[in-house]
Structure 1
Amino acid sequence: MLSAPTAQAQVTTTSAQDSVIAQPKAPEAAPKAHWYDKISLRGYVQIRYNRLLETNPQLKTEYDKSVGDKGGFLIRRARMVFSGNVHERVYIYIQPDFASTPSGSSAIHFVQLRDAYFDLSLDKQKEFRLRVGQSKVPYGFENMQSSQNRLTLDRNDALNSALPNERDLGVMFYWAPDHIRKRFSELANGRMKGSGDYGVFGLGIYNGQTANRQEANNNQHIVARLAYPFAFKNGQIVEPGIQAYTGLYTVTSDQLSSSAIKGGDFRDERVAASLVVYPQPFGFQAEYNVGRGPEFDPATKTIQTKSLTGGYAQAMYAFSIGDHNFIPFLKAQFYEGGKKAETDARYNKVYETEIGLEWQPLANFELATQYTISDRTTKDARALNNRQHGRFLRLQAQFNF
């Protein structure tokens, strides 16, 4: 009788042990995701030499300080992009440049902010967006196109004179259907040299004094753009566009060559048309703008509001040999008018032809060669009629990461 309870206890104990062994373990909780885990890092570096086969060392350009006399090797851009969706409706983008040259400085390779903005999606499909901060202004396809993607080493004078550095501080509204946003992304990320996703329709308000400069008047600029990438059955994509902006630009005292020249507020407005045929394999790109803005007048030695006009056309052809990608190109441009951000809102007249080849043997390396034939005339209070023409061969090595 004493052994029965003992045996029963043993059985009970054994059953309990079996039960514990058979019971599955609770799954471990997934680590909590932090916003900074969603940030990606990428960038590129461009190193140039511009003085091969040079015929006139006095020929210079504001777009590249290493062109002409005393020019040498130059790190033209060294950029890193921090970006990511920190929320299902919030996307951030921050881009510093580690090789900037501040206006009026003889030193090079300063760190300067290029972009710092966030996109706030107004709907779940992210078709309607607000972009707040310093970003590219939607005026001109080549202005919006990243320098990492652009074929020619510099942007055209005609449309870039509207937006030196292509950026300003403000608020932009963009709209595009979801499938068109995907198309814009594919065009920018592939080998078709897209401009990025600036919507089918864009409308914005911004300071108007160009990037990294304080507002100088009580009048903001307004910009609007309409563009659509049509896809045809043969695979070709054609993107026509139209854009315009208006506002007041203030020529500030630091832009003047002497106290005898007066600055002030000037009407600044333009309208432009764009046409892009993406290279598959033949490509074509053209833009033209007209408008008015501040311009130095050599006859009166004053800055006045004057008309301006100019544009460019570019042809290209993409092909591959093995793993090597090639795009030869030909570009011709013309511009006549003032450049509001230059000294005394300098008058410019530009005729330029560029013939080049981009070679990409690796995804992380590109080499561009470009032969430039240029005829440039500038007029400001220091040089009332400075005309320089010449030819030179340019080389650029680009590293992508």
Structure 2
Amino acid sequence: MKKLPLAAAFWTMCGAAAAEGSPQAAIELYVDTTTRQIFAEPGPGRQRLGKFVQASDEATPAMSTATAQAESKPVAASPATVAAAPKSASSKAWYEKIGIRGYVQMRYNQELSGSADTLKSPGDRFIGPEQGFGIRRARVVISGDVNDRMSIYIQPDLASTPSGSSTTNFAQLRDAYADLWLNDEKTWRIRAGQSKIPYGWEDLQSSQNRLAPDRADALNSGVRDERDLGVLAYWSPTVAKERFAYLQKSGLKGSGDYGVVGFGVYNGQGANRPDRNDQLHSVIHFSYPFKFANGQYLEVGADAYAGRYKVSTGSATVGGVTFTPSVDAPVAGSTDRRVAAHVVYYPQPFGFQAEWTVGKGPELDIARRVIRTKSLRGGYAQVMYKFDGGYGSLMPYAKWQTYRGASKFDTNAPRMLVDELEAGVEWQPSSAVELAVAWANMHRTDVTTAPYRRVKGQLLRVQLQVNY
């Protein structure tokens, strides 16, 4: 038969049925999945659309209940409501199922009092002397379903600064992994590649969604850049998957779906760094989002990891004495293990979140000039309130954090003492723009260089984020 454009063919066929004297007679239609042409008979490559009847501008008698139940198919209402049938997921080419998104964060820090001009923080390289505007993040995410059993996720950061570099804004890989779905319901998956290690709720939360400018040091000091190279398994029942997705997309600052249960192995030396001891770290993760009868969400969970970490050593001068510390550990590296717990009461409108961690890891003992295994502890607590109105979304917050333990990723793993209080507000006039302003009172160790002084000061912090 002659092939017509999609809408014209549809209405020609429906009109033909009406002209035969049966205005309510249904006609069965098929669409060619390649050419998008409409046909009135089945054939190779044609997908059944269902049975349709032509509707006039005047009201038409409703179909009988028996007829409606027998057909159980949509009825065309008017030409304006008819659109081309979408391709099924299985019929799309892989490049039609890949999406691109991302965000950019620009920051500015202004010293207010104390010795703030000499402060240093692992979470923000633009804190310190002779700083101005800086691009904190410039992320591009390429993700999608290659087929029904595999999804991919690739994320470079175009605003990285390699160690020792005097210039900024280098491209560096953050994520590159594949999710291999093990069942049709997609409740079980294997994640292989460089990805976030499921230790710490705030570490799993994207910086695109996080309310405070930086992650708490106690949790973030466990896994460099929150990521590593390894193989992980995640399980999320359907109800949990739906809740994780809602909490992330609704503006409630969710962390995403990292499973109700997650476990696996990874190198342990940090993102974009090779393994140095031929011994893998292991991690286990639990988290569940409860929903109360009034619609309030509460998420609780716990994480743990264990392995051996090889510290980088170098010359240090403390108290006028220059030395390179030895490492009191086996050839495979120092003991490195932690456990953490979290609770998140989502802002509806009042919210609260807190995490705490304890463990053991390598730390510089200056008196003995040796790096040995020592205990660590720390965490944070944060309160927030969400206002929604014609002006957009407004969320003020206050966050307190503390940490007593080593900064194992820095040369010589010096001890880090952190006590910090921060208060601020995030304004999101639209989904594309966010502006955050915060005041921070910091008291922290400068772990970048000996003699590892502890500095105290106050900062004004401003961040503009654009999402695309």
TM-score normalized with structure 1 length:
0.90
SS in 2 for 1:345: coil
Aligned equivalents of 1:54, 1:87: Cα separation in 2: 56
Please name the residue that 1:17 is paired with. none
The answer to whether structure 1 residue 41 and structure 2 residue 100 are counterparts is: yes
Q: How far does residue 381 in structure 1 lie from its aligned partner after superposition?
A: 7.3
The answer to whether structure 1 residue 337 and structure 2 residue 405 are counterparts is: yes
**Counterpart residue identity of residue 260, structure 1:** T
SS in 2 for 1:203: strand
Q: 2:311 aligns with which of 251, 267, 284?
A: 251
Q: How far does residue 61 in structure 1 lie from its aligned partner after superposition?
A: 1.0
Q: 1:30 aligns with which of 27, 34, 46?
A: 34
**Counterpart residue identity of residue 103, structure 2:** Y
2:193–2:229 Cα contact (<8 Å) kept: yes
Higher relative contact order (CA 8 A, sep 6+): 1
Please name the residue that 1:78 is paired with. 138
Q: How far does residue 27 in structure 1 lie from its aligned partner after superposition?
A: 6.5
2:363–2:415 Cα contact (<8 Å) kept: yes
**Counterpart residue identity of residue 212, structure 2:** T
Q: How far does residue 378 in structure 1 lie from its aligned partner after superposition?
A: 4.5
Q: How far does residue 259 in structure 1 lie from its aligned partner after superposition?
A: 7.5
Q: 2:382 aligns with which of 314, 324, 328?
A: 314
The answer to whether structure 1 residue 388 and structure 2 residue 455 are counterparts is: yes
Aligned equivalents of 2:254, 2:217: Cα separation in 1: 20
SS in 1 for 2:202: helix
The answer to whether structure 1 residue 93 and structure 2 residue 97 are counterparts is: no
Q: Which string of whole-angstrom CA distances, capped at 9 and with x for unpartnered residues, describes residues 6-61 of structure 1? A: xxxxxxxxxxxxxxxxxxxx975516732112110000000000015354211121
Please name the residue that 2:269 is paired with. 209
Q: 1:180 aligns with which of 240, 256, 264?
A: 240
Please name the residue that 1:273 is paired with. 341
Unaligned runs of 5+ in 2: 1-29, 36-90, 317-321
Please name the residue that 2:298 is paired with. 238
SS in 1 for 2:95: helix
Please name the residue that 1:66 is paired with. 126
**1:112-127 aligned within 5 A:** 112-127=172-187
Please name the residue that 1:11 is paired with. none
The answer to whether structure 1 residue 165 and structure 2 residue 169 are counterparts is: no
Q: Which string of whole-angstrom CA distances, capped at 9 and with x for unpartnered residues, describes residues 82-122 of structure 1? A: 00011111110000000011123222111000000011110
Aligned equivalents of 2:409, 2:279: Cα separation in 1: 17
Unaligned runs of 5+ in 1: 1-25
Aligned equivalents of 1:326, 1:213: Cα separation in 2: 39
Please name the residue that 1:261 is paired with. 325
Please name the residue that 1:302 is paired with. 370
The answer to whether structure 1 residue 353 and structure 2 residue 357 are counterparts is: no
Please name the residue that 2:110 is paired with. 51
Aligned equivalents of 2:297, 2:31: Cα separation in 1: 50
SS in 2 for 1:397: strand
**1:104-119 aligned within 5 A:** 104-119=164-179
**Counterpart residue identity of residue 165, structure 1:** D
Q: How far does residue 223 in structure 1 lie from its aligned partner after superposition?
A: 0.3
Paired residue total: 375
SS in 2 for 1:192: coil
The structure-2 alpha-carbon separation of the partners of 1:381 and 1:196, relative to structure 1 and needing over 3 Å to count, comes to closer
Q: 2:206 aligns with which of 131, 146, 154?
A: 146
Please name the residue that 2:191 is paired with. 131
Moved segments of 4+, more than 4 Å:
26-29, 255-259, 378-381
Aligned equivalents of 1:223, 1:116: Cα separation in 2: 19
